């Protein structure tokens, strides 16, 4: 049962009971419609209260139903709303907490609304690439005015109900039990003669509605360049004062359906669901005994170590930060303090919170100080002999059951685990830089890592607000293994005739937060160089990154040295095309007898993104990633891939695997390294998709 019906003192109370957030799936829509009809035909009932059980009044449409036959099954939400609106007995919404999307549209179709303070109120469809599809763009401006409605709808902002107390949205703010007060209110309203007020009959208020829309259009064009939904929201809002209600409603509905079937909304919804799916261990079954994590240690107080420590301090967990000497630990402490102080300055953190966090931090140059910690994260230099000796030492001092994690970016977690007598407790926790900011955390599963340790790692990730994705062991794990191929293709483009700034522009126009060369300059070209030198030594057949190597040989490490692929003014991050880099590239072309060719932006994007896709397919095939959507989550949260494209694997699905395969085959005719992975061949043959 998705709704519940009872009568209290001549008031019918319809309660939505569809956990977790009372989503408006088909059964709920039917339940509400039947409840209203039942109340209408019961002569003892004089008025109706509509409410939700549990955590929400209603969180809105049931997104799992989208693009399924159920979403089209009658009654649709608009149908339910018109049944409510046309009731001659007054219908009162009792909003005790969340009323979002369709949930708020439902409340707005009621004749009256009573709300508790602190209820979250929003029409946030735009965040999923949609617009409110059941009258939200028409009723909200009529109730709270055009400008306030526009701000809520176009940005999807959620507002606390008490801030809307005088907006016209609510007829009464409850002081106690909102359902009880709504029942009392409904009894009063029943005494009034019909018809009861309907939002649709109100007039949209604004002194200069056309002007407001024009200004908003300019702002939306600048801010949401690649997103169609905010523009459609404005069209619908414009219709709220230009067209009769029902015509405007039809326009809103058409826009909703078009957006829902478009690739941007599909991508945004995929991004939302991929983050949720990634949080579930693919082979977890039954009850898993999770380990309690109350004290954390971080070994290595450098760039990563101090950032990693901040995550736990911010979440209220005590941290011991260890390094080789007082100077190194104090440097770590100072960097943490400075970071928090910057947040205080920006008024993002209260000074008392800074104090509290710093009190949770203990620093030490003695490794035995980690002995009482439940989770120990190693972040020393990326050097295998050092990692092995560190883990051997940790094995000696850590208490039984402690989780021993490495933040290595490229080294073999199995080998690290084997240096201890407890490989089941060893795991990779690969944070991204800056570790206190970046949302992504790759949880690396060693051959022997226990399921309890994995589950605990996922729970810890949630506590510190990270998006965790499971990865198997391989060089670079999911994200960096793929980015290595992408960077290689970026280099190749330059070797063949493109300039770094053109490659970056093409990638950025596609939507990447930063092109590959700007990204390398930010991360430090020396980091990739060190990894390449190791790989050249391990496997001399590895492709050489000659231009990048030459750049590093002359000390151009990027932003930190003021020069890299680009030039930088002292203390500035703005990348300026570099005559020095250009000369280096041209010298390379000349030396190798290359006549530089021209690339279109589309060709550049195809090579860069398909490089990710082909390696992603190999990663899937090898079981390094459990799901294509996990790879997408890695790229969306760790590599600045545009959310509105859903991630590289979803993007490939959007292009069509058949087409991806064909394009790669054609590139492979002159360069066999483009041979599509067997998984791509199979999916193309079946006309299937990564995220099928
Ligand atoms: P870093 O050079 O900034 O810091 C390393 C710290 O380890 C130094 O403070 C050093 O004194 C300390 N150290 C060395 N030996 C030690 C020992 N025996 N005991 C205790 N401390 C010791 O390096 P980083 O950039 O923070 O990288 C640390 C790890 O994180 C590496 O494995 C690296 O691959 C990984 N990582 C780095 C990045 C990045 O972007 N920098 C991103 C993800 C992962």
CA dist 262 to 19, 68, 72, 406, Å? 29, 15, 17, 42
Question: Cβ(376) to ligand 1 under 6 A?
Answer: no
Determine which residue's CA is closest to atom 4 belonging to ligand 1.
302
Please tell me the distance between residue 303's alpha carbon and the centre of ligand 1 in angstroms.
7
Determine which residue's CA is closest to atom 20 belonging to ligand 1.
323
Torsion of CA 596, 601, 602, 604, to 10 degrees: 50
Phi first, then psi: give them for residue 640, nearest 5 degrees. Answer: 65, 25
Determine which residue's CA is closest to atom 36 belonging to ligand 1.
409
Q: Mark out the alpha helices in 26-159 (DSSP H runs).
A: 26-41, 77-85, 102-109, 136-144, 146-155
User: Distance between CA atoms of 339 and 356, rounded to whole angstroms?
Assistant: 14
Contacts of 276 (CB under 8 A, 6+ apart): none
Pairing of strands 47-52, 3-8: unpaired
Whether the CB-CB separation of 322 and 301 falls below 8 Å is answered with yes
| Residue 534: band (very low, low, confident or very high) from pLDDT cuts 50, 70, 90 | confident
- Inform me whether the pLDDT recorded for 284 exceeds 80: no
Give DSSP secondary structure letters for 589-627.
HHHHT-------HHHHHHHHHHHHHHHHHHHHHTTSSS-
Per-residue confidence (pLDDT) for residue 1, from 0 to 100: 75
Please tell me the distance between residue 409's alpha carbon and the centre of ligand 1 in angstroms.
10
Please tell me the distance between residue 406's alpha carbon and the centre of ligand 1 in angstroms.
10
| Residue 68: band (very low, low, confident or very high) from pLDDT cuts 50, 70, 90 | confident
Per-residue confidence (pLDDT) for residue 185, from 0 to 100: 97
Question: What are the beta bridge partners of residue 113?
Answer: 93
Element (H, E) at 275: helix 263-278
- Inform me whether the pLDDT recorded for 585 exceeds 90: yes
pLDDT tens for 8-26 read: 999 999 999 999 999 999 9
Handedness of CA 510, 511, 517, 518 (dihedral sign): positive
Question: Cβ(279) to ligand 1 under 6 A?
Answer: no
Please tell me the distance between residue 323's alpha carbon and the centre of ligand 1 in angstroms.
10
- Residue 193: CB atoms within 10 Å: 7
- Inform me whether the pLDDT recorded for 543 exceeds 90: no
- Inform me whether the pLDDT recorded for 646 exceeds 80: yes
Give DSSP secondary structure letters for 436-477.
TT--EEEEEPPTT--HHHHHHHHHHHHHTT-EEEEE-SSTTH
- For the chain, how many residues are written? 692
Per-residue confidence (pLDDT) for residue 205, from 0 to 100: 86
Task: Spot the catalytic one: 34, 65, 85, 105.
Answer: 105
Question: Cβ(22) to ligand 1 under 6 A?
Answer: no
578-585 average pLDDT score: 96
User: Distance between CA atoms of 129 and 62, rounded to whole angstroms?
Assistant: 15
Please tell me the distance between residue 35's alpha carbon and the centre of ligand 1 in angstroms.
63
- Inform me whether the pLDDT recorded for 528 exceeds 90: no
126-155 average pLDDT score: 97
Question: Cβ(482) to ligand 1 under 6 A?
Answer: no
Nearest Cα residue to 424 out of 440, 445, 399: 445
Per-residue confidence (pLDDT) for residue 64, from 0 to 100: 75
Question: Cβ(408) to ligand 1 under 6 A?
Answer: yes
Helix, strand, or coil (residue 498): coil
Task: Spot the catalytic one: 34, 85, 125, 447.
Answer: 125
Whether the CB-CB separation of 233 and 131 falls below 8 Å is answered with yes
Pairing of strands 172-173, 296-299: unpaired
Determine which residue's CA is closest to atom 14 belonging to ligand 1.
380
Question: Cβ(306) to ligand 1 under 6 A?
Answer: no
What percent of the chain is predicted at pLDDT more than 90? 92
Which atom of ligand 1 lies closest to the CA of 307?
26
User: Distance between CA atoms of 474 and 615, rounded to whole angstroms?
Assistant: 12
Helix, strand, or coil (residue 551): helix
Whether the CB-CB separation of 372 and 318 falls below 8 Å is answered with no
Whether the CB-CB separation of 383 and 341 falls below 8 Å is answered with no
Question: Cβ(377) to ligand 1 under 6 A?
Answer: no
Question: Cβ(673) to ligand 1 under 6 A?
Answer: no
Question: Could you tell me the end-to-end alpha-carbon distance of the chain, in angstroms, rounded to an integer?
Answer: 31
User: Distance between CA atoms of 373 and 377, rounded to whole angstroms?
Assistant: 10
User: Distance between CA atoms of 381 and 526, rounded to whole angstroms?
Assistant: 14
User: Distance between CA atoms of 522 and 511, rounded to whole angstroms?
Assistant: 18
| Residue 310: band (very low, low, confident or very high) from pLDDT cuts 50, 70, 90 | very high
Question: What are the beta bridge partners of residue 98?
Answer: 56
User: Distance between CA atoms of 550 and 530, rounded to whole angstroms?
Assistant: 13
Whether the CB-CB separation of 475 and 483 falls below 8 Å is answered with no
Please tell me the distance between residue 329's alpha carbon and the centre of ligand 1 in angstroms.
12
Helix, strand, or coil (residue 127): helix
* Ligand 1 pocket: which of 301, 334, 381, 410 to mutate (most atoms within 8 A of CB): 381
Per-residue confidence (pLDDT) for residue 286, from 0 to 100: 78
pLDDT tens for 174-187 read: 999 999 999 999 99
User: Distance between CA atoms of 278 and 633, rounded to whole angstroms?
Assistant: 7
- Secondary structure string (H, E, C) spanning 660-683: HHHHHHHHHCCCHHHCCCHHHHHH
Q: What letter would DSSP give residue 645?
A: G
Question: Cβ(381) to ligand 1 under 6 A?
Answer: yes
**Peptide bond preceding 75 in cis form (omega within 30 of 0):** yes
| Residue 69: band (very low, low, confident or very high) from pLDDT cuts 50, 70, 90 | confident
Residue 452 designated active-site: no
Question: Cβ(364) to ligand 1 under 6 A?
Answer: no
| Residue 71: band (very low, low, confident or very high) from pLDDT cuts 50, 70, 90 | confident
Nearest Cα residue to 415 out of 442, 390, 446, 437: 446
Please provide the average confidence, as pLDDT, over all residues in the chain: 96
User: Distance between CA atoms of 325 and 661, rounded to whole angstroms?
Assistant: 54
Q: What letter would DSSP give residue 291?
A: P
Please tell me the distance between residue 234's alpha carbon and the centre of ligand 1 in angstroms.
49
When computed from its CA atoms, the radius of gyration of the chain, rounded to whole angstroms, is 29
Please tell me the distance between residue 439's alpha carbon and the centre of ligand 1 in angstroms.
19
User: Distance between CA atoms of 521 and 5, rounded to whole angstroms?
Assistant: 63
Residue 105 designated active-site: yes
Question: Cβ(638) to ligand 1 under 6 A?
Answer: no
Pairing of strands 91-95, 47-52: parallel
- Residue 74: CB atoms within 10 Å: 10
Element (H, E) at 630: helix 628-638
User: Distance between CA atoms of 158 and 164, rounded to whole angstroms?
Assistant: 11
Helix, strand, or coil (residue 142): helix
Q: Mark out the alpha helices in 290-419 (DSSP H runs).
A: 303-314, 326-345, 351-359, 384-397, 413-418
């Amino acid at each position: 049962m998705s709704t519940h019906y009872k009568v209290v003192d001549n008031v019918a109370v319809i309660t939505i009971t569809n956990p977790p957030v009372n989503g408006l799936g088909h059964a709920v829509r039917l339940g509400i419609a039947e409840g209203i009809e039942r109340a209408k035909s019961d002569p003892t009932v004089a008025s109706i209260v509509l409410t939700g059980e549990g955590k929400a009044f209603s969180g809105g449409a049931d997104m799992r139903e989208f693009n399924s036959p159920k979403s089209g099954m009658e009654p649709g939400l608009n149908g339910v709303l018109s049944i409510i609106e046309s009731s001659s007995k007054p219908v009162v919404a009792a909003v005790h907490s969340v009323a979002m999307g369709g949930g708020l549209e439902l409340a707005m179709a009621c004749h009256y609304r009573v709300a508790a303070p602190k209820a979250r109120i929003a029409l946030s469809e735009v965040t999923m690439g949609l617009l409110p599809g059941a009258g939200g763009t028409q009723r909200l401006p009529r109730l709270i005015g055009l400008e306030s409605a526009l701000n809520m709808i176009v940005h999807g902002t959620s507002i606390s109900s008490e801030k809307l107390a005088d907006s016209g949205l609510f007829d009464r703010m409850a002081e106690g039990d909102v359902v009880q007060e709504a029942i009392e209110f409904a009894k009063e309203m029943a005494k009034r003669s019909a018809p009861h007020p309907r939002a649709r009959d109100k007039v949209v208020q604004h002194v200069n509605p056309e002007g407001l829309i024009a200004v908003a259009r300019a702002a939306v064009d600048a801010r949401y360049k690649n997103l169609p939904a905010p523009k459609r929201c404005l069209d619908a809002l414009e219709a709220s004062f230009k067209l009769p209600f029902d015509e405007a409603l039809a326009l809103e509905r058409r826009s909703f359906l078009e957006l829902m079937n478009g690739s941007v909304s599909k991508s945004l919804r995929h991004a939302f669901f991929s983050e949720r799916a990634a949080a579930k261990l693919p082979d977890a079954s039954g009850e898993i005994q999770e380990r309690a994590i109350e004290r954390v240690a971080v070994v290595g107080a450098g760039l990563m170590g101090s950032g990693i420590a901040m995550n736990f301090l911010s979440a209220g967990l005590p941290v011991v930060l260890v390094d080789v000497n007082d100077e190194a630990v104090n440097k770590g402490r100072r960097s943490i303090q400075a970071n928090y102080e910057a947040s205080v300055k920006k008024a993002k953190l209260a000074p008392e919170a800074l104090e509290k966090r710093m009190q949770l931090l203990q620093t030490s140059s003695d490794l035995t100080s980690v002995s009482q910690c439940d989770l120990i994260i190693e972040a020393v230099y990326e050097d295998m002999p050092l990692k092995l000796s560190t883990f051997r030492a940790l094995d000696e001092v850590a208490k039984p059951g402690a989780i021993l994690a490495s933040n290595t970016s490229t080294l073999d977690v199995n080998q690290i685990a084997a240096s201890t007598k407890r490989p089941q407790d060893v795991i990779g926790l690969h944070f991204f830089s800056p570790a206190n900011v970046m949302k992504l955390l790759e949880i690396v599963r060693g051959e022997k890592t226990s399921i309890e340790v994995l589950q605990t790692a996922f729970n810890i990730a949630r506590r510190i607000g990270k998006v965790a994705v499971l990865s198997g062991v391989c060089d670079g794990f999911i994200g960096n293994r793929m980015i290595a191929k992408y960077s290689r293709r970026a280099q190749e483009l330059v070797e063949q005739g493109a300039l770094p700034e053109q490659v970056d522009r093409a990638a950025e126009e596609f939507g990447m937060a930063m092109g590959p060369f700007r990204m390398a300059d930010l991360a430090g070209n020396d980091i990739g160089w060190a990894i390449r030198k190791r790989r050249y030594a391990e496997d001399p057949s590895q492709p050489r990154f000659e231009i990048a190597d030459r750049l590093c040989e002359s000390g151009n490490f990027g932003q930190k040295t003021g020069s890299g692929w680009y030039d930088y003014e002292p203390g500035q991050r703005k990348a300026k095309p570099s005559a020095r880099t250009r000369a280096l590239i041209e010298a390379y072309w000349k030396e190798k007898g290359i006549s530089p060719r021209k690339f279109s932006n589309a060709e550049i994007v195809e090579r860069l993104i398909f490089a990710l896709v082909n390696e992603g397919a190999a990663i899937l095939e090898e079981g390094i990633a459990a799901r294509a959507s996990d790879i997408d989550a890695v790229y969306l949260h760790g590599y600045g891939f545009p959310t509105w494209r859903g991630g590289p694997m979803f993007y490939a699905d959007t292009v069509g695997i058949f087409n991806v395969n064909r394009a790669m085959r054609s590139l492979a005719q002159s360069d066999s390294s483009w041979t599509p992975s067997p998984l791509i061949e199979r999916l193309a043959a079946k006309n299937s998709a990564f995220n099928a």
